[in-house]
Structure 1
């Protein structure tokens, strides 16, 4: 049954993994699977906490691409061990979807027991500037990232 919150349907954006050691994980993906390292960086601050639900932390990140598909690798620097099932726990994967209306999608998924991990944030700079993002976690612990690309307005 079509869902009005997804007029064009969600579109897969990337898959992400929370990892123990970013450098060794990059080597694994590139040496074992022939992935290409696209970019690396570091994030921290309230933006990261609001999107992922991770308390004050820093994350080293990398995007590798395999067969044209982006894989996000995230190494969180946490003060304490992450609770199981959090989107930032080591070994947890998340699937990211582009959606047309993140607020409507959040309303729809909440009816099915999925919970936002913080507050919707807008990426301030870089390749995805203007994209609204939010992690959600389902009743069974599955993690999904919602991404609403910026809308371009014709003038």
Structure 2
């Protein structure tokens, strides 16, 4: 069996980031809070005396228990490097929304910021898409997208 389970974000302020994803993207608590430590976790992470806390949030639009956005924090966090859209590795999370402009405004009011310009692009079959890149309060890049038939 194969199935996608979760994406993990390490947060400086997990409570603030959890609240942001609940408010802006309607992610939901599903009772999967974590307070993890022990030799098994040290072996898994390759770190010594590691302690992780956080929560799994149900992503909107799918099942009742998966996939989730896992927002964790370590007791000891390394200096972060601001993500860029062209940096190797996982570049962004994408959410399809009803209204990109309204969601972007909500993101900014909740502590996020805009990266580039909001654009509209033509696609086949008389379809257009609206896109914008933005950042959550900790700098993680999020793509907002909306698809519609041209009038």
TM-score bracket for the superposition, by shorter chain length: 0.3 to 0.5
Identify the structure with bigger relative contact order (alpha carbons < 8 Å, sequence gap 6+). 1
TM-score, normalised with respect to structure 2: 0.44
Q: TM-score, normalised by structure 1?
A: 0.43
In terms of Rg, which structure is larger? Answer: 2
